[in-house]
Amino acid sequence: EILAANAQDLEVARSSGLATAMIDRLALDEERVEAMARGVEEIARLADPVGTVLAEWERPNGLQIQRVRVPLGVIGIIYESRPNVTSDAGALCLKSGNAAILRGGSESQHSSAAIHHCLVDGLRAAGLPEACIQFVPTTDRAAVGYMLSGMSDWIDVIVPRGGKSLVARVQQEARVPVIGHLEGNCHVYVDRAADLNMARAIVMNA
């Protein structure tokens, strides 16, 4: 089901002249689907973070204070062409006790919908509410705007994952808290004993 849906996305992407690098990020094969499944299984094996006491101390008046991990609530995740983000984000939100509303890029709409269908099957099999991982079923860009500014009663935090323009838009338009960053640092240190051809390739890629 996932590979068939991905084939639809790839056909549209190639016919619309999408860049080769974007098509590679979009493309799925059996190995990549298996890697997604392994990723979900690895997340499932992680220790339950909810309720973990990170720090505790006592005030001079005897008041006990703890810093405890708790779910954030409903997390809206807006991402671009990588369909594997659907499984990663859904599984991470579930593991941390949060509900998720996922809005993938239009290039990966069919693939992401098929992956979401598999997640819902898993939720159903586990006896969990199917609605705790939701997928926005439209490619209309207005849906992003609505998530950012019209759903503050239902979404507790937005997480953008994608390029600079996406993150900038989310930070500018969101009416709920955003976990994201626009700029980052990329440092490469080359040891004197390094293979210089390899180092050059790494630096150019970085």
Question: Mean pLDDT highest for which of 32-46, 163-177, 191-205?
Answer: 32-46
Helix ranges (DSSP H) in 27-100: 30-45, 84-95
**By C-alpha distance, which of 197, 158, 3 is closest to 83?**
3
pTM (two decimals): 0.82
Residues 37-88 have pLDDT tens digits of: 999 999 999 999 999 999 999 999 999 999 999 999 999 999 987 899 999 9
Residues 102-136 have pLDDT tens digits of: 999 899 999 999 999 999 999 999 999 999 999 99
| pLDDT attached to residue 80 | 85
Token representation of residue 197: 């051809």
